[in-house]
Chain A
Amino acid sequence: MMPARNVDNEFRSLLASSGELVERAPSSLKARLYTCFVRRQQESGPLSSLNDSVASGHGVCVFEKLVQISPVGEQVKSPFFCHVCHARILAEHFDNPPIFWPNCPYVMFKKA
């Protein structure tokens, strides 16, 4: 009969060496996770306003900029505008989507 220790070593060597590759996360996965994460954040109240994003030094995309400079209240500047943006939909379904706007998070995932 084979000693149990050999069996353990045999499986250890076979399984420890498999699946070693460190893979980068696909951009479409990041896009879906980001959307889901923001939706979870919204469950406990609104996101911070786009004015806060700009004040803390972050860039906003061209669509967000239109809202941010509008003479409207802070509440109107808090929704997750990406929800209605085609960039999000493309990014969630393709790993190299044809989206190029500066300061779009979904474009950032593509570049990463």
Chain B
Amino acid sequence: MQTNLPANLASQGRVRTSPGERQLIQGVLTKERKATAHFVDLCTDWIYGFVHRRLMPRSELVEDMMQDILFAAWQSLPNFREESSLRSWVLGIARHKVEDYYRRRICEIEIPDEDNESEELAVMPLFDQQLDSALEQARVQKTMADIPEVYGVVLIWRYREDKSVREIAELTGKTEKAVERLLARARQAFRRRWNDARS
């Protein structure tokens, strides 16, 4: 496979694509079935945990999302410049696809102008229980499954992915105030379900 790497990158040791990966890429690009199987095997293991964690509890979306990511990776392989490992590159595509999904979900909804976050803060109690981590994880998944999908998406984006309100607003085309309101509603719904499950 032709590689066209900047000399300074190579000399700084920043090129991390192995000869095995180059051969694999070449095989996939020529549609060689065994190389393709190996590529799918590797990529699937690399991205499964990443995608699963970010789409839970919507497990029914995982397979379609992984198909999209693999296909996008294949389409972009001719542009792979070997400035990172194949793994990092594929994970970058996965991140982009998941964020695109979050963005679309949030863009689809209308966020009303009037809402009062302070009311949420005053009324809703803190999570008052320290749970064993496996139990807590199961309860988080259950609660996320019970709230509207867009609430789960915005909570994951904000608190698991650590995106700022400003970033979410920029990516979705909403105002920061609208994102704050959406987050407040999402937190409120989450807390309500969390506390309902306890009682």
Interface residues of B in 148-162 (CB under 8 A from A): 155-156, 158-160, 162
Q: How many residues of B contact A (CB 8 A)?
A: 44
How many contacts A-B (CB < 8 Å)?
131
By secondary structure, the B interface counts as helix
Q: Which residues of A contact B45 (CB under 8 A)?
A: 24-25, 112
B: residues with CB less than 8 A from A are 27, 30-38, 40-41, 44-45, 48-49, 52-53, 56, 63, 66-67, 70-71, 74, 117-118, 121-122, 126-127, 133, 136-137, 140-141, 155-156, 158-160, 162, 187, 190
A: residues with CB less than 8 A from B are 1-2, 4, 6-8, 10-12, 14-25, 29-30, 32-34, 36-38, 40-42, 45-48, 52-53, 56, 58-60, 80, 82, 103, 105, 108-109, 112
Extra contacts besides A15-B155, A19-B53 (11): CB < 8 Å: A11-B159, A15-B140, A18-B160, A19-B141, A21-B53, A29-B48, A29-B66, A38-B33, A45-B31, A52-B32, A109-B41
